[in-house]
Amino acid sequence: MLLAIDVGNTAIKLGVFDGPELRASWRWATDPSKLTDEYAVQLGWHLDHAELSPEVISRAIFCSVVPQLTVTFRQLCQEYLGSEPLRVSADLELGVRLRVDNPQEVGADRIANAAAAQGLYQLPAIIVDFGTATNFDVVSRDGDFLGGCFAPGIESAVDGLLARAALLRRFDLVAPAKTIGTNTVMCLQAGTIFGYTALVEGLVRRIEDELGERALVIGTGGLVETIASQTKAIQVVDQNLTLQGLRLLSELNPGVVGRAQASDARA
């Protein structure tokens, strides 16, 4: 079985695959201060709860945008699973061509999402990933990763606003009954939820204008349902898109792990 790990700034998503079947998945809060041993205990508990054991995991792959945890999860796989994990980078066989100025600066999670879009969905595709940032990534009809654009994530934007506005308080991220709020909470909810809905619709329209054709819009990430419920611009919601991309990348690179281990040891 394959353990796929997506280490993000806000959340860590893990999944165990038996071939193409996702047998179990979990979402953890990101905590760079946690030690390898602590994450290993957490993983062991979840595996046991899913009636799986570490011994059934023969391979591991991960993407990480948190350098400190890149080391942590590599050590976890090495020491507790006995597996040298495959780390996603632009140097692997990706299934998509990175048609950007500097392929090395493309985030590993974006690469995994693009691989999943290319392998599982019709193209062209626009991937909207609602995380710490709201990422828009574009895969062309020919399977080229063309780049994209970033906006502050919903929670990141709210946190920034509340940190600077002394009289505003935290609120639930749910859509109010109408756009014109009649109290402070309704105003905050309307501006946030409907504002991000309009952001998605506007950027999708601009991207499609540049592509010269309509694209399948795939939504993923922790808050995707909050926005997808408000717009028809997001046609597919796939909460496991990044994990599926990791699975496909593992299949495309079956013999890379040993070489990666030797290279990292020399470094």
Catalytic annotation, residues: 109
- Distance from chain centroid for Cα 112: 8
Residue among 104, 95, 75 nearest 261 (CA):
75
User: Helix or strand or coil: residue 265?
Assistant: helix
Dist. CA 26–CA 58, nearest whole Å? 19
Dist. CA 113–CA 130, nearest whole Å? 12
Residue among 176, 140, 135 nearest 156 (CA):
135
Tokens for 247? 């699975």
| Neighbour order of strands in the sheet with 86-87 | 21-29, 11-18, 2-7, 59-64, 86-87
Please enumerate in sequence order all residues whose Cβ is within 8 A of that of 238, keeping only pairs 6 or more positions apart, or say none.
116, 218, 219, 220, 244
Q: Are 217 and 228 in contact (CB under 8 A)?
A: no
The H or E element that residue 127 is part of is: strand 125-130
